[in-house]
Amino acid sequence: MKGLAKAAGHADRETPLKNYCAGLLLPGERKSVEPMAARLAPDNVQRMHQSLHHLVADAPWSDEELLRQVRSSVLPAMQEQGKTVCWIVDDTGFPKKGSHSVGVARQYCGQVGKQDNCRVAVSLSVATWSASLPIAFRLYLPESWTENKKKRKEGGIPEEIQFQTKPQIALAQIKKAVEEEVTRGVVVADAGYGVDGRFRAGITELGLEYAVGVQSSLTVWAPGTKPLPPAPRQQMGRPPRLLRRDKHHQPVSVKQLASDLPAKAWKTVNWRQGTEQKLRSRFAAVRVRPAHRDYEQDKPHAEETLLIEWPKGEAEPAKYWLSTLAADTKLKDLVAIAKQRWIIERDYQELKQELGLGHYEGRGWRGFHHHATLCIAAYGFLVAERSRFSPSARSGHLRLSVPEFPLDFQPRGSHPSGTA
């Protein structure tokens, strides 16, 4: 906690930080400021509420600096149990009513699996085979927010924050991690990121490998094929330099390529022990060249590995990935890396269900990020300490004591007892 208080920029914040993190870790269905204050100080709820609210909503400490301190404390503990395997890019949605909370818009929300009124945040996590920790977390702002001066002012959005797509936010987070010399891993992400050619190219430019999901419609050059060379030079004008296609020489979709593979290309792979049995499916891996807009280039894209999952008995493949891992990477290892993204789902489940990541009730940019940072700090504590407990001991199940609410505690917005 002293390290976190130092990162937060002022010694006076040590006690509020400790209280806020304790409130997040203690049992309780709701982890917004008011119910946490009631649990932490049942004899003086108002004073505790003011202290916690000021820390999260008003105090101008740096989220990046505090997350850097969490990382420096937690990653060494994680790495004692195993090496860093990958960096996981993902985003998570927070359903939200109304239109005034910063970032809220009608957009796809993974939590409910459809378009809904919500806000979405992009994260970067570092993972070993058994644990992972978010090291960057930022709210995605639709253009309806970044281009609206009134909304920007009301939400307290910093001037330097401009519109960025989710892949652009993620790539900036990755670049920052590289600059800060975080132990490197293979970048993994779902098709929402992997389908973006500039995102994939940016990862490669940073000297990192990836194994990212892509959509079935993505086009590639099948094994042994590539774009046609530039057209022959004419007597007049500059020599042609761009690659070509014609009606007889075209790339194919990864879905079509999968359908054309022979039966012997498919292998059954076990990649992880599930809750009841080993997880397994059928996979094939082939070397291809991405075809995206290569007719605007003078050189073809480099070869990559296309990984395809086609569960036995299914009518078509379930998932596709592109990977820049070495061509001789074993199929089982490639599958394990691509599938390691699952661990971020466990992180978000615990962060939301046990630590109240989505419970912050304020509307501003600063409060949203401060609350998320402190949730990650509390989660980092659990990640680092988890090896001290039995496997069944998880956040929310450590049998910590917690005071009862005072008898006269009445949450804001609720009706007095006995009234409708």
Q: Pick 47 or 98 by higher pLDDT.
A: 47
**Mean local confidence (pLDDT), 143-168:** 95
Query: How far are the Cα atoms of 30, 96, 149, 206, 326 from residue 152, in angstroms, in the given order?
Result: 28, 18, 5, 32, 45
pLDDT of 106-122, one tens digit each?
998 877 888 889 999 99
| Least confident among 35-44, 324-333, 394-403 | 394-403
Cα 83 to the center of its chain, rounded Å: 20
Report the pLDDT value the prediction gives residue 396, as an integer from 0 to 100.
47
Contact 368, 360 (CB under 8 A): yes
Mean pLDDT, residues 153-164 taken together: 95
Least-confidence region, from 126-130, 227-231, 282-286: 227-231
Residue 14 has pLDDT above 70, yes or no: yes
pLDDT the model gives residue 4 = 86
Q: Answer whether 286's CB lies under 8 Å from 264's CB.
A: no
Point out which residues pair with 304 in neighbouring strands: 288
The answer to whether the Cα torsion of 155, 158, 161, 166 is positive or negative is negative
Tell me the average pLDDT across 217-232.
Answer: 88
Residue 336 corresponds to which tokens in the numbers above? 């394990």
Q: Is 356 left (phi over 0), alpha (psi -120 to 50) or beta?
A: left
Helix residue ranges per DSSP H, 8-83: 14-25, 33-40, 45-53, 63-80
pLDDT at 40 over 60: yes
Listed residue (396, 400, 408, 362) closest to 155, CA to CA: 362
Is the model's pLDDT at 276 over the cut of 80? no
For position 298, what pLDDT does the model report? 78
Chain centroid to Cα 144, Å, comes to 23
Q: What's the Cα-to-Cα distance from 29 to each of 25, 193, 244, 289, rounded to whole Å?
A: 11, 33, 60, 50
HEC sequence for 315-375: CCCCEEEEECCCCCCCHHHHHHHHHCCHHHHHHHHHHHHCCCCCCCCCCCHHHHHHHHHHH
Residue 244: alpha-carbon gap to chain centroid? 37
**Two structure tokens written together for 349:** 């489940």
Distance CA 217, CA 255 (A): 7
Instruction: List, as one string, the DSSP characters of 149-210.
Output: HHHHHHHT--TT-----HHHHHHHHHHHHHHTTPPP-EEEE-HHHHT-HHHHHHHHHTT--E
For residues 265 and 387, which has the higher predicted lDDT (pLDDT)? 265
- What does the DSSP 8-state code read for residue 248? T
3-state DSSP call for residue 1? coil
Residue 420 has pLDDT above 70, yes or no: no
Phi, psi for residue 219 in degrees, rounded to 5: -100, 145
**Helix crossing, 63-80 with 365-385: angle to 10°?**
20
Sequence-ordered list of residues with C-beta below 8 angstroms from that of 279, at least 6 positions apart, any chain:
270, 271, 272, 273, 339
Residue given tokens 């132990």 in the structure block: 183
Q: What is the pTM of this model?
A: 0.88
Rounded-to-5 percentages of helix, strand, coil across the chain: 35, 20, 40
Give residue for tokens 């960096």: 87
Question: Which residue shows structure tokens 């702002």?
Answer: 141
Q: What is the pLDDT of residue 109?
A: 86
Q: With a cut of 50, say whether residue 395 has pLDDT above it.
A: no
Q: Output the six-digit token pair for 417.
A: 């007892």
